[in-house]
Amino acid sequence: MLMIVRPISVLTAALFLVSCCVHAQDFVWTPGLQRAYTDLQKLKLQSARQALVKESSQNGVRIFLDDYADMLTLVTSDDDRAYADMSDREDERLDALNALDENSPWQRVIQAEVRLHWAFVKLKFGKELSASWDVIRAYKLLAANQKKFPHFLPTYKSLGTLHIMIGSVPDNYVWVANLLGLHGNVQQGQQELQQAEQDPTFRLEAQLISLMVKAYVLKFSEADGKDLQRLVSDNQDNLLLHFFGATIEQKNGHSEQALTYLLTRPTGSAYPSMPVIENILGDIYLQKGQNSTAINHFQQFLTTYKGQNFLKDSYYKLFLCHWLANSPDSKARLFLQKLITVGRTTVESDKAAQKFAEAFLKRGGSPNQKVLMRARLASDGGFTDSALAYLRPFSEASFSLTVEKAEYNYRLGRIYQRRNDADAALPYLNRALVLSESRDDSREQSSFGATAALQLGYIYQLKGDRIRARSFFQKALSFKHHEYKNSVDNKARAALSQLSQNT
């Protein structure tokens, strides 16, 4: 079983790092490398690379930062050609690091970081199997380093993240994790991330990872939102924080705050263009019902973007912009027809877009589908007044299809939940779940059932009703076929893990 180490002071950590560098010159954080790392965290890639070329190519820290720069370049561009040109660098850098001092606490940590860089890159480019092996090897390197150097704080940034992810694995896959030697839980991972935040080198990165884990795996609270605001406010020239701050807030239904982060982001020649920001801006303006502005951003994204992710999503959103503005159906459908022919279905938003397009092109839209879509977009963005206004003239009986009845109830439940009125949300979410469990079970209904069950679990968890919370989280996991299964299962499993640990 992995050790849980006690927190130590920043001063102790700093002294330990200094002593390590004295005896292990293969890994030295020179002033130039420290500046380069700071620039990389801000996405100032050009200045970071200029600083790196002045440093020794035999220094393991430079190898790590060279790799970090490549990772950031690839994930911000999604450029397939660039990926093909750079993909051999992983093995080259791992070989170089393996030849350096194995008695340094940095050697295994940096090897693990390189593997995790490439795991992230490979996931973006649809190489899931290879990415999985990188994650497994990174875990083993970090676990070994923890055992050999238990007080070395840099180990815990990524090890804590992996322990949270392992603790969030759905029950039916736990045996696979155990077979591969992967062990950990959510509480352990959170404690380790807190330890990593004490490290002066990786503090900022550990803070951001902690917030992202809460947003995408656990539960993002109002207090977490305030922590994020402080982090962005304290780092005005950090494009990476503005970008991830926006994605986190948009994910959690606070699109107005996300828009603020993007509109105040640092710009200029020091930073990469990041076309994906145009896609996010298009999303937000679509949620606000400002279709013409949204169209401009989606078109700008498609003009400048070189990758294959988010193409289907963008054409789907262009369809929505025209369809919801009551353009002729023949014009709007052109975007769905284009959607079918472009991009790939690696990310969830592209999978959902592909599924919608196939269904709509085959069967067309129902009379009330636009109402539900307007309510969905407004609610997802946190614009609950608009969302309620769309739905007030209707009742469940207004919809003929079971899937639309389920969606109507789910949307109302989420609207009231976002307005912090859990008691009003409960009957609607329960009704959405019941409708989704009917015998006429389609993938669309399963999606609303799974997400409704997840939200019901969160509501009862906040109420302190652990038995009901656990039953709804387990119910969310029971839905087998829907486009949001990965994210719903991760959140449900993480919540169950937290409930078990707090017993």
Query: Per-residue DSSP letters for 186-213?
Result: HHHHHHHHHHHTT-TTTHHHHHHHHHHH
101-115, 178-192, 317-331: range with highest mean pLDDT: 101-115
Give the whole-angstrom CA distance, residue 57 versus residue 104.
18
pLDDT digits (tens, 9 = 90+) for 281-299: 999 999 999 999 999 999 9
Give the whole-angstrom CA distance, residue 414 versus residue 418.
6
Between 364 and 86, name the one with better pLDDT: 86
Angle between helices 311-324 and 291-304 (to 10 degrees): 160
pLDDT at residue 21 in the model: 40
What residue type is 372 in one-letter code?
Answer: L
52-66, 118-132, 162-176: range with highest mean pLDDT: 52-66
Burial class of residue 124 (count of CB atoms within 10 Å of its CB; 0-12, 13-18, 19+) = buried
Arch. (CATH architecture) of 366-501: Alpha Horseshoe (1.25)
pLDDT digits (tens, 9 = 90+) for 451-483: 999 999 999 998 999 999 999 999 988 888 777
| E-strand stretches of 301-438 | none
Measured torsion, CA atoms of residues 297, 303, 305, 308, in degrees rounded to the nearest 10: 100
Is a pLDDT exceeding 70 seen at residue 145? yes
Is a pLDDT exceeding 90 seen at residue 56? yes
Is a pLDDT exceeding 80 seen at residue 502? no
What residue type is 465 in one-letter code?
Answer: D
Question: What confidence tier does 19 reach under pLDDT thresholds 50, 70, 90?
Answer: very low
In 271-347, alpha helices (H)? 276-287, 291-304, 311-324, 329-341
Is a pLDDT exceeding 90 seen at residue 350? yes
DSSP string, 435-478: HHTSSS--HHHHHHHHHHHHHHHHHHHHHT-HHHHHHHHHHHHH
pLDDT digits (tens, 9 = 90+) for 180-233: 667 777 888 899 999 999 999 999 999 999 999 888 888 888 999 999 999 999
Burial per residue of 435-451, b for 16 or more beta-carbon CB atoms within 10 angstroms, e otherwise: bbbeeebbebbbbbbbb
Q: What is the pTM of this model?
A: 0.85
Indicate the length of the chain as a whole number.
503
